[in-house]
Amino acid sequence: MNKSTFILKGNICYTETRDQLTVMDQGYLVCHEGISRGVYPVVPEKYRDLPVTDYHDLLIVPGMSDLHVHAPQYPFRGLGMDLELLDWLNTHTFPEESRYADPEYAEKAYRIFTEDLRKSATTRAAVFATIHIPATKVLMEQLDASELKTYVGKVNMDRNCTDTLRERDAEAALESTSEWLRETAGKYPNVRPILTPRFAPTCSGALLEGLGALQREYGLPVQSHLSENLSEINWVQELFPWSSCYGNVYEHYGLFGGEAKTVMAHCVHSSDREVKLMKNSGVYVAHCPQSNINLSSGIAPVRRYLDEGIPVGLGTDMAGGANMSMFRCIVDAIGVSKLYWRLVDQGSKPLSMEEAFYLATKGGGAFFGKVGSFEEGYEVDALVLDDSGMRSTKELSTRDRLERYLYLAEEYGRLAGKYVAGKKIL
Ligand code: GUN
Ligand code: FE
């Protein structure tokens, strides 16, 4: 029998809709060739012969999608947290990313990133690399071997950055991106390419136009940054004076949803016009709460995006966020939503645990397909959570154990198993 056909038994939690957690204590999750056949209180007759892995009293939850993470920034995580975006990029980010011109450095630095990501709660990720082809190949090779499922983007930037990171001009950047696409095509089964203009300020109109053409030629998805910081937004208006909003710049060049599956990180200060554009284009928002805090960017109005029906997932934005843990990301999303409610908009009620858990699983998972739930037809990405180190005299329901796990994961949690698309990797 196929190795990715099995049953997992334990206390199973997942979301079907964003505000409701489905819990089945001592349930059976049936996985057939990597795809869920549903969750049952007793094993249905037709699945009786499948091997069962019994996780006893542990929790089993869907794997998590980090919808926005910068692999090359991992070496300076937890450092340089006293600047806002544009100064932070110039002071910390661009100098570190310049080092990836050396593939040997990339090999070492990406090894640490990839090993840590593999051990984390993340099963899927949309990853920024740097402008460098050899280093980006190293990252793709390592991530492929990790058996996580990822999108990786070679970054494009041809202006407004250090010489060491600036591609000569639009033509050179586009040629390099085409070469990267050609040379990596079909080589890494677990890694798919994603077009990655860093953000509008570091991309000329000619570069964005060429990336739009590549998007249409290859049908590629797109990732970038949008309306993260007020100085950034003003700068985009100066650089693209004809634009009606920041998002309109990407839209103008065919890099904003529609045929191009797109995820934009942050969207902290999006105007009404921009929100409407995001909604009409089906653009995903990668909400990165810890980065919003660390770079003093502000708080993304996630409740509004959810109410508008805009697809939302969570991102660590490593190293704008210092922690790779998606549990921490969930807790930060809940936390900043409370501050937003209290300090910014009393009509914008905070995220519940269920909602934030949904964003990290099914919300962000949607960018990768039928991912992030245990409903029938979903790819089985699963985490087995051991909370036995969380000592307490309290009797807890399974739902409460999950909530506590999210908050205490780093101190007392243990990842007892990890499955990606039906394959056990931990
Ligand atoms: N905007 C452009 N580049 C970056 C980056 O590396 N991190 C964040 N948070 N925002 C950006
Ligand atoms: Fe980012």
Are 317 and 325 in contact, with CB atoms under 8 Å apart?
no
- The b/e string for 103-129 (b: 16+ C-beta within 10 A; e otherwise) is bebbeebbeebbeebbebbbbbbbbbb
pLDDT one-digit tens code per residue, 190-232: 999 999 999 999 999 999 999 999 999 999 999 999 999 999 9
Statement: residue 305 has pLDDT above 90:
yes
Instruction: From the CA of 295, give the closest atom in ligand 1.
Output: 9
Q: How many CB atoms lie within 10 A of CB 185?
A: 10
- Residue 295 CA to ligand 1 center (angstroms) comes to 10
pLDDT one-digit tens code per residue, 258-280: 999 999 999 999 999 999 999 99
Which residue, judged by its Cα, is nearest atom 8 of ligand 1? Answer: 320
Instruction: From the CA of 291, give the closest atom in ligand 1.
Output: 9
Nearest ligand for residue 88 CA: 1
Ligand 1 within 6 A of CB of 161? no
Nearest ligand for residue 87 CA: 1
Q: Which of 68, 155, 199 to mutate to test the pocket of ligand 1 (most atoms within 8 A of CB)?
A: 199
Statement: residue 31 has pLDDT above 80:
yes
- Percent of the chain predicted with pLDDT > 90: 99
Ligand 1 within 6 A of CB of 89? yes
The pLDDT value given to residue 346: 98
- Residue 271 CA to ligand 2 center (angstroms) comes to 20
Are 131 and 157 in contact, with CB atoms under 8 Å apart?
yes
CA dist., res. 69 & res. 67, Å (int): 7
Residue type, 409: A
- Residue 377 CA to ligand 2 center (angstroms) comes to 32
Statement: residue 117 has pLDDT above 80:
yes
Please report which confidence band the pLDDT of residue 298 belongs to, taking 50, 70 and 90 as the band edges.
very high
pLDDT one-digit tens code per residue, 37-47: 999 999 999 99
Ligand 1 within 6 A of CB of 228? yes
Ligand 1 within 6 A of CB of 291? yes
Ligand 1 within 6 A of CB of 199? yes
Are 413 and 389 in contact, with CB atoms under 8 Å apart?
yes
pLDDT one-digit tens code per residue, 374-396: 999 999 999 999 999 999 999 99
Ligand 1 within 6 A of CB of 225? yes
CA dist., res. 271 & res. 419, Å (int): 40
pLDDT one-digit tens code per residue, 4-22: 999 999 999 999 999 999 9
The pLDDT value given to residue 239: 98
pLDDT one-digit tens code per residue, 146-165: 999 999 999 999 999 999 99
Ligand 1 within 6 A of CB of 85? yes
Q: Which of 76, 77, 97, 228 to mutate to test the pocket of ligand 1 (most atoms within 8 A of CB)?
A: 228
Ligand 1 within 6 A of CB of 93? yes
The pLDDT value given to residue 3: 83
The pLDDT value given to residue 2: 75
Which residue, judged by its Cα, is nearest atom 7 of ligand 1? Answer: 320
Ligand 1 within 6 A of CB of 70? yes
The pLDDT value given to residue 67: 99
Residue 83, judged by CB atoms within 10 A of its CB (0-12, 13-18, 19+), counts as: middle
- Residue 113 CA to ligand 1 center (angstroms) comes to 18
- Residue 80 CA to ligand 1 center (angstroms) comes to 14
Residue 96: both structure tokens together: 């570190």
Which pTM value belongs to this model?
Answer: 0.98
Ligand 1 within 6 A of CB of 320? yes
Are 167 and 211 in contact, with CB atoms under 8 Å apart?
no
Please report which confidence band the pLDDT of residue 251 belongs to, taking 50, 70 and 90 as the band edges.
very high
pLDDT one-digit tens code per residue, 120-141: 999 999 999 999 999 999 999 9
- Residue 380 CA to ligand 1 center (angstroms) comes to 31
Instruction: From the CA of 70, give the closest atom in ligand 1.
Output: 6
Which among 257, 312, 260 has a CA at the least distance from the CA of 288? 312
The answer for 334, left when phi > 0, alpha when psi is -120 to 50, beta otherwise, is alpha
Q: What is the mean pLDDT of residues 283-308?
A: 98
Are 373 and 61 in contact, with CB atoms under 8 Å apart?
no
The pLDDT value given to residue 1: 62
Instruction: From the CA of 199, give the closest atom in ligand 1.
Output: 2
Q: What is the mean pLDDT of residues 343-349?
A: 98
Q: What is the chain's mean pLDDT, rounded? A: 98
Q: What is the mean pLDDT of residues 351-371?
A: 98
